[in-house]
Chains A and B, each alone.
Chain A
Amino acid sequence: MPTMLPADSVGLVTPQTAHFDEPLALACGKTLEAYDLVYETYGELNAERSNAVLICHALSGNHHAAGYHGKDDAKPGWWDAHIGPGKTIDTRRFFVIALNNLGGCHGSTGPCSTNPATGRPWGPTFPLMTVSDWVSSQARLADRLGIERFAAVVGGSLGGMQVLQWTLSYPERIANAVVIAATSRLSAQNIAFNEVARQAIRSDPDFHDGWYGEHDTLPKRGLKLARMVGHITYLSEHSMGAKFGRDLRSDALNFGYDVEFQVESYLRYQGDMFSTVFDANTYLLMTKALDYFDPAGAWDGDLAAALAPANCPFLVVSFSTDWRFAPARSRELVNALIRAGKPVSYVEIDSPHGHDAFLLPDPRYQAVFGGFMKRIARERNLEGR
C-alpha cells in the first residue's frame, strides 16, 4: 500500500477481540462454553446508538472489511469499495461493525483454536455452525457494544443469508436489511459444487481427517482445488473470457500438462495463495453452513410463511451474470416477501462480473445501495454529521 492513504478510506484499523463466557447453544446440539469474536469498527457510534450497521461476511471473508492494518498492506479490507467516508456505507454517518464468524480462521474461535476441554486444537471436532448460530453470536456482540437495534444489517452471498436470518431471529433488533447476491437456500447445483470442494480437501493425503495440525502438514493441494472450483463459479463466462480468452503463457503449445493457458496460471495462483492463508477445516464448515441454510425448510418450503416474523424494509440486489446465486434466486426471495406483504425493494444490476460483482464498485450498484442507505441516514437524522 500506498504511503498515503486514500481520502475516502477509513484509514488504519486495528482488530479487537470480545471474549464471551456465556455458553452458546448451537443448532447441532452442542454448546460452545466460551468463545472469542474478533471484529473491527469504522466510524463512530452516535449518542442515540441509532447509527450502527453490521456487516456479515461471505464464505472466505473475515472481520477486515475496510481500511488497512498497516502501511505495507498490499490491499485494503474486502469491502473497502463500499465502506468509507462518502462511500455507499458512509462512515461519516454510520458506525460500522464487521466481525469474523465463529468457526473462522482469522481470530474468532474456530477449528484452529484450542479446545479448553482437551487442551488440543479443536480441528475437525469444532462443532458445525449454522447461519442461525452465527446470528445469535452476532447479537451477543451487539449487546456487548451497547447496540440494541441495528440501523441496517448488510451482507452479500453467505453474508446475505445471515441478514435474512437476522430479520427472522431478531426482527426487533434490525431496522433495515440489505441482502445482496444471496438466496434463501442453495440449489442442488450449489450443494454439488460445495461437495466437490469438500471432497477435494478431504481426499488430500495431508488432510489426516482434519488433524493435519497434529501432523505438521496442511492439505494445501485439496484446499487449492476447492478454491479453484469455487473461483470458477464466482466469475462469469464472459468475465473469464474477457480477462484471459485463450491466451497462452508462451508463444506455442507445449503438448504437456504444465500451465499453458493464462486461465490455468491464474487459477493455480489463486488456489496456491488461498491454500496458504485459509484453514481447511474452516472452509469445510463454512460450506456446510451454506448448504444447511433454508428458513423455509421448517415451513414445508413455504418461504412466505417462514418470513412472517420479518418486519423491516428489505433491499434485495442481484447481478445479471451471477450464476452461483442467480437473479432468479433473489427473485424467489423477493416474491416471497411480496406474498407475505413485507416492505421490499429489488434491483438487478447489469454486470459482467458474475457472483464477484457484489464485492466490486459499479455506478448503478452504488447508486441503488447508496440511495437505500441515504434514506436510512435521513430518517435517523444522521445527515448533518
Chain B
Amino acid sequence: MMRADLALIYGWVPEGARVLDLACGDGTLLEALARDRKVSGYGLEIDPDGITACLEKGVNVIEQDLNRGLANFDDDAYDMIIMTQALQALRRPDLMLDEMLRVASEGIITFPNFAYWRHRVHLGIRGYMPVSKSLPHAWYDTPNIHLSTFNDFEHLCRQKGLIISDRAVGNGDHEGHWSSRWWPNLFGETAIFRISRGQGHEQARYRRELL
C-alpha cells in the first residue's frame, strides 16, 4: 500500500517519463513507476536505510544532500521532478524550486500544511507548537525548519511566476473529503502541488549561479 500522497503523484507522472525524485525515501514510488509506467531516472536520498532499501529494490539512488543543490544535473534533463515531504526541511526552499524547474519543466511537491486546522488548534488555542502525524517532531529537534501553508506556497509560486497546474490535499484518513477540497488551507493536512515553468524560467537559470 503506497502512502496517500505517493499514490496521487503516481497518477500524475506520464508513461516513459524521465524522473528525478528528490528525497526518494525507500524508493517505493520510483520502483512502481519503473515497473508499471516505464519511467526511468534517479532518486536522491541521504537516509542510509532508505538508500539500502532502494538498492535492494533496484532503484537508482544517489546519496546527495539537497541543500547542496542539483548542479550535477543538466538543464532540462528530466520530464518530471518530484519532491515529497522535504521542502520544509531545506535551508532555502525557494532556491530549490528554481533548481527543480531548471532540470525539469514540471515538478510535483508535497509538504505538511502548517495551517491545517489541527495545527491551528495546537498553536492558536493550546499555545503549543503543533505536533501531528505529518509533523511528528518536537520544536527543538525537528528537521522541519521552513514550515509553510497551502497559501504561502501558492504565494511563492505567484511571485516566481510559476504555473500551478494541479493541486490536491492529502488528509490521512478522509482524503478527498469535501471540506479539504473547498478549504484546503484549513482542512488539508498535506499540500500537493503540480507546478511548471512560467515567466520565471529565465530567472531560474540565473538563480542557479547563486547556489
Whether a CB of chain A sits under 8 angstroms from the CB of B209 is no
Whether a CB of chain A sits under 8 angstroms from the CB of B139 is no
Q: Which A residues touch B64, using CB under 8 A?
A: 346
Q: Which residue on chain A has the smallest CB distance to residue B55?
A: A371
**In the complex, A346→B53 CA distance in Å?**
13
Whether a CB of chain A sits under 8 angstroms from the CB of B191 is no
How many residues of chain B get a CB closer than 8 Å to chain A's CBs? 22
Pick the contact of A315 from B48, B55, B57, B73 — CB < 8 Å?
B55
Determine the main DSSP class of B at the interface with A. Answer: mixed
How many residues of chain A get a CB closer than 8 Å to chain B's CBs? 22
Q: Which residue on chain B has the smallest CB distance to residue A363?
A: B48
Across the interface, do B72 and A335 meet the contact criterion of CB distance under 8 Å?
yes
Whether a CB of chain A sits under 8 angstroms from the CB of B173 is no
Q: Which A residues touch B52, using CB under 8 A?
A: 367-368, 371
Whether a CB of chain B sits under 8 angstroms from the CB of A140 is no
Q: Which A residues touch B57, using CB under 8 A?
A: 375
Q: Which residue on chain B has the smallest CB distance to residue A335?
A: B72
Whether a CB of chain A sits under 8 angstroms from the CB of B63 is yes
Whether a CB of chain A sits under 8 angstroms from the CB of B141 is no
Across the interface, do A368 and B51 meet the contact criterion of CB distance under 8 Å?
yes
Q: Which residue on chain B has the smallest CB distance to residue A374?
A: B56
Nearest-Cβ distance from residue B79 to partner chain A, whole angstroms? 12
**What 0/1 readout, one digit per residue, does chain B (80-115) give for beta carbons within 8 Å of chain A?**
000000000000000000000000000000000000
**In the complex, A372→B53 CA distance in Å?**
9
Across the interface, do B55 and A338 meet the contact criterion of CB distance under 8 Å?
no
Given contacts A367-B52, A368-B51, A368-B55, contact A345 B60 (CB under 8 A): yes
Total CB contacts across the A-B interface at under 8 A: 53
**In the complex, A379→B58 CA distance in Å?**
9
**In the complex, A165→B56 CA distance in Å?**
25
Residues 356-385 (chain A) with a chain B CB within 8 angstroms: 364, 367-368, 371-372, 374-375, 379
Residues 302-344 (chain A) with a chain B CB within 8 angstroms: 313, 315, 331, 334-335, 338-339, 341, 343-344
Across the interface, do B60 and A313 meet the contact criterion of CB distance under 8 Å?
yes
Q: Which B residues touch A372, using CB under 8 A?
A: 55-56
Pick the contact of A371 from B18, B56, B74 — CB < 8 Å?
B56
**In the complex, A367→B63 CA distance in Å?**
14
Q: Which A residues touch B48, using CB under 8 A?
A: 364, 367
Q: Which residue on chain B has the smallest CB distance to residue A379?
A: B58
Across the interface, do B42 and A338 meet the contact criterion of CB distance under 8 Å?
yes
Q: Which B residues touch A331, using CB under 8 A?
A: 72
Whether a CB of chain B sits under 8 angstroms from the CB of A347 is yes
Whether a CB of chain A sits under 8 angstroms from the CB of B168 is no
Residues 59-73 (chain B) with a chain A CB within 8 angstroms: 59-64, 72-73
Whether a CB of chain B sits under 8 angstroms from the CB of A36 is no
Whether a CB of chain B sits under 8 angstroms from the CB of A279 is no
Nearest-Cβ distance from residue B46 to partner chain A, whole angstroms? 10
Whether a CB of chain B sits under 8 angstroms from the CB of A40 is no
**In the complex, A334→B48 CA distance in Å?**
18
Nearest-Cβ distance from residue B71 to partner chain A, whole angstroms? 9
Across the interface, do B74 and A339 meet the contact criterion of CB distance under 8 Å?
yes
Given contacts A338-B62, A368-B51, contact A375 B56 (CB under 8 A): yes
Known contacts A348-B63, A368-B52, A372-B56, then 18 further A-B pairs from the complex at CB < 8 Å, ordered by chain A residue:
A313-B58, A334-B62, A335-B72, A338-B42, A338-B73, A341-B40, A344-B42, A345-B54, A345-B60, A345-B61, A346-B64, A347-B55, A364-B48, A367-B52, A371-B53, A375-B55, A375-B56, A379-B58
Closest 4 CB pairs of A and B: A371-B55, A335-B72, A371-B56, A371-B52
B interface residues (Cβ-Cβ under 8 A, vs A): 18, 40, 42, 48, 51-64, 72-74, 77
* CB-defined A-B contacts under 8 Å, sample of 17: A313-B58, A315-B55, A334-B62, A338-B62, A338-B72, A338-B73, A339-B77, A345-B54, A345-B55, A345-B59, A345-B62, A346-B63, A347-B55, A348-B63, A367-B52, A371-B52, A371-B56
